[in-house]
């Protein structure tokens, strides 16, 4: 991976990472690994993989899941586990917003990995996604926390990228 | 004073009406549009002194609308101000400067502040 994500996030609190579709799993894994080595209190918001599967993947990749709090928008569970909160659906943006705000309000989250804007864009129009993003970015800024939003390149058009740039500190397009 | 013409573009019709009333009471001639496409269509037949543009509109965003205004030789010199709930990042503010956006006013706004800032630009 050419970029140094640890350096980038230390200089820019809010980053949008546009990743070529074919490279997405590898770049995401490298990103999570790098950030888990630099931060001790992270949040992983997943809109496309259930908590149980993420734990398996983290284990296989030797990523310490104990450093993470998870928000699972896929499993459709109501109960909450030790380090996981469930959101009823990736389309439940208000619920997701409230959940993320509650978590940020604990003051325990240094950095969030939001996986991914692609899933949001699959369900909602670009302006709905941009409004949600703007709202959640405001929360990160209020709580002095950092966030990396990931997105697959083929899932976002040029105009949406330009609009997202208006609110993020940096937009990185991985080659 | 000469009656200056202002185009207000916002998808929230209540806000569009409110801003229109505020500006008309100050003697401005006001034209409205509820989205970016309608704004660009109206600019083909009328040339306002200033466009007051919302950022987050469905269809065409305010940023895209502004880019199209700037890319058309007939409209490229029109003054543009953003009126928006959005809090732009430093990157976003730089993009606004590059598009020659003169100012951005955040919602909710103070009526007198809105008038003062618009008058300053005209």
Residue B91 CA neighbour count, 13 Å, CB half: 17
Q: What residues in A contact B98, CB-CB < 8 Å?
A: none
pLDDT in tens, B32-82: 999 999 999 999 999 999 999 999 999 999 999 999 999 999 999 999 999
> Pairing relation of β-strands A42-46 and A68-72?
parallel
Residue A127 near chain B (CB below 8 Å): yes
Burial code (b: 16+ CB inside 10 Å, e: under 16) for A43-61 equals bbbbbebbbeebbebbeee
Annotated domain spans of chain B: 5-121
What is the topology classification, in CATH, of domain B5-121? Rossmann fold (3.40.50)
CB contact under 8 A, B91 and A168: yes
Residue B71 near chain A (CB below 8 Å): no
Query: Mean of the per-residue pLDDT values for chain B?
Result: 96
Q: Give me the pLDDT at residue B1, please.
A: 54
Of A125, A131, A165, the CB nearest to B91: A165
The shortest C-alpha distance from B115 to chain A (Å) reads: 25
Helix axes B13-25, B111-121, angle to 10 degrees: 70
Give residue B45's Cα distance to chain centre: 17
Q: Residue A26: phi, psi to the nearest 5?
A: -70, -45
- Check if the beta carbon of residue A90 is closer than 8 Å to that of residue A123: yes
Q: What does DSSP assign to residue A81?
A: B
pLDDT in tens, chain A (175 residues): 458 999 999 999 999 999 999 999 999 999 999 999 999 999 999 999 999 999 999 999 999 999 999 999 999 776 667 899 999 999 999 999 999 999 999 999 999 999 999 999 999 999 999 999 999 999 999 999 999 999 999 999 999 999 999 999 999 999 8
CB contact under 8 A, A166 and B56: no
Give the pTM: 0.92
Q: Give me the pLDDT at residue B33, please.
A: 98
- Check if the beta carbon of residue A21 is closer than 8 Å to that of residue A154: yes
Annotated domain spans of chain A: 5-173
CB contact under 8 A, A166 and B89: yes
Homologous superfamily of the A5-173 domain (CATH)? P-loop containing nucleotide triphosphate hydrolases (3.40.50.300)
Residue A6, classed as helix, strand or coil, is helix
B 90-109 near A (Cβ less than 8 A): 90-92, 95
Q: What does DSSP assign to residue A147?
A: E
């Amino acid at each position: 991976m050419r970029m140094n994500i640890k350096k980038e996030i230390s200089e820019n609190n809010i980053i949008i990472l546009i990743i070529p579709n074919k490279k997405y799993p590898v770049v995401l894994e490298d990103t999570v690994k790098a950030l888990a080595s630099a931060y001790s209190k992270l949040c992983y918001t997943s809109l496309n993989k259930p908590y149980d599967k993420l734990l398996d993947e983290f284990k296989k990749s030797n990523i310490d899941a104990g450093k993470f709090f998870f928000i699972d928008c896929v499993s459709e569970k109501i109960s909450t586990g030790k380090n996981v909160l469930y959101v009823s659906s990736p389309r439940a943006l208000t619920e997701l917003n409230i959940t993320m705000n509650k978590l940020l309000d604990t003051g325990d989250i240094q950095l969030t990995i939001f996986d991914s804007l692609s899933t949001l864009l699959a369900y909602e129009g670009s302006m709905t996604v941009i409004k949600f993003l703007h709202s959640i970015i405001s929360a990160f800024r209020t709580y002095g926390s950092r966030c990396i939003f990931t997105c697959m390149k083929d899932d976002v058009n040029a105009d949406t990228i330009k609009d997202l740039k208006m609110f993020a500190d940096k937009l990185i397009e991985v080659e | 004073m000469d009656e200056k013409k202002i185009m207000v573009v916002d998808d929230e019709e209540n806000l569009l009406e409110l801003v229109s009333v505020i500006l008309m009471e100050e003697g401005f001639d006001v034209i409205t549009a509820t989205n970016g496409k309608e704004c660009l269509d109206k600019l083909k037949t009328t040339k306002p002194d200033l466009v007051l543009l919302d950022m987050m509109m469905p269809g065409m965003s305010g940023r895209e609308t502004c880019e199209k205004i700037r890319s058309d030789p007939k409209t490229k010199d029109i003054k543009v101000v953003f009126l928006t709930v959005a809090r732009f990042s430093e990157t976003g503010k730089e993009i606004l400067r590059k598009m020659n956006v003169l100012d951005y006013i955040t919602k909710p706004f103070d009526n007198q502040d809105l008038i003062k800032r618009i008058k300053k630009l005209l």
